[in-house]
Amino acid sequence: MQSKIENIKNKIKDFKAESIKDIEDLRILLLGKKGEITRLFSEFRDVPNDQKKELGQHINNLKNAALERIQQLKDSLEGSKIEKSDIDVTLPPFPLNFGSRHPISLVLEELYNIFGSLGFKIVEGPEIEDDWHVFSSLNFPKDHPARDMQDTFFIESNPDIVLRTHTSSVQVRTMEQQKPPIRVICPGRVFRNEAISARAHCIFHQIEGLYIDKNVSFADLKQTLLYFARELFGSDVKIRLRPSFFPFTEPSAEMDISCNLCGGKGCGVCKHTGWLEILGCGMVDPNVLDFNNIDSKIYTGFAFGMGIERIAMLKYQVKDLRLYFENDTRFLNQFKSVL
């Protein structure tokens, strides 16, 4: 057995490999199920007891020498391959280019979290709507300017079908399907027949809110909007409500926030007034409640609506609405670090 051990030692020492297959063949020859070293372990059982200790050590040393030689051959072969390919493994890897989230998506998610903490649920509806859900059920008279071709996209084959001009149509569908209490926000794309410029677009995004229950007051509306403004723009922001008019709310108001760029002192962005208009709001007109089979003598409610692009412009100081729709990666890459 000792002579077999010496022969295998010499074989291990003199073996040369030019490929991974050669190394694998050596491993199988020595350590496979029928390998030469494996057979030595089988024959070891017949060795006299007084020789087992010494021979056992020799066989174990032989096995370790075989494993070490196999690893050396692998390392040598891999090293030669790297040299041939001229690859510098010490160089850092190429950076992974992660995509960036769109600013509209970032603002929407933030609004979902803010109003979600107040108990508002998200509901969505179709972008192609009928006259009832977009205008009539919201107290728009037949001669209202919003119904003009200059303001609304009508479907030629059916003048009663339009691309929705606001997501208030989703509020109507919610009132049709659900009885109070109702507390929802309605995000989505809307369409208006306007000339495209830095401050206007024919496609934009809105989010509208609706809360209907017993004893809902204008004070509830004001407190909700104050909480929203401070959560989105910071605890130092101030709000003011100016009287306005919308067919579906009475009383109605426009809400401004103190300019977050100049701190309310006045600058070019706020036209030196210290205030920025941000949304429209008001108490739901009783006619709208009655149109949708909600008893206006029992229930009251408030509604509000804002443009997402407008919010994103204020939050990220974007001065041209068209940037949101042009898919310019130079613009979008600025939001990579915004999570």
Chain mean pLDDT for the chain: 85
pLDDT given at position 86: 62
pLDDT given at position 269: 67
User: What does the pLDDT look like over 129-164, one tens digit per residue?
Assistant: 998 888 888 988 777 776 665 578 888 778 789 999
- Residues near 4 by beta carbon (within 8 Å), at least 6 away in sequence: 36, 40
d(CA 121, CA 113): 10
User: Is residue 59 within 8 Å of 40, Cβ to Cβ?
Assistant: yes
User: What does the pLDDT look like over 157-202, one tens digit per residue?
Assistant: 787 899 999 999 999 999 999 999 999 999 999 998 888 887 778 8
d(CA 328, CA 307): 21
The CATH class that applies to domain 103-335 reads alpha beta
User: What does the pLDDT look like over 60-88, one tens digit per residue?
Assistant: 787 888 888 888 878 777 665 545 556 66
User: What does the pLDDT look like over 86-143, one tens digit per residue?
Assistant: 666 777 777 667 777 889 999 999 999 999 999 999 999 999 999 888 888 898 877 7
User: What does the pLDDT look like over 12-56, one tens digit per residue?
Assistant: 777 777 788 888 887 888 788 777 877 777 776 777 777 777 777
- Name the residue with tokens 């609004």: 111
Higher pLDDT, 146 or 262: 262
d(CA 128, CA 157): 13
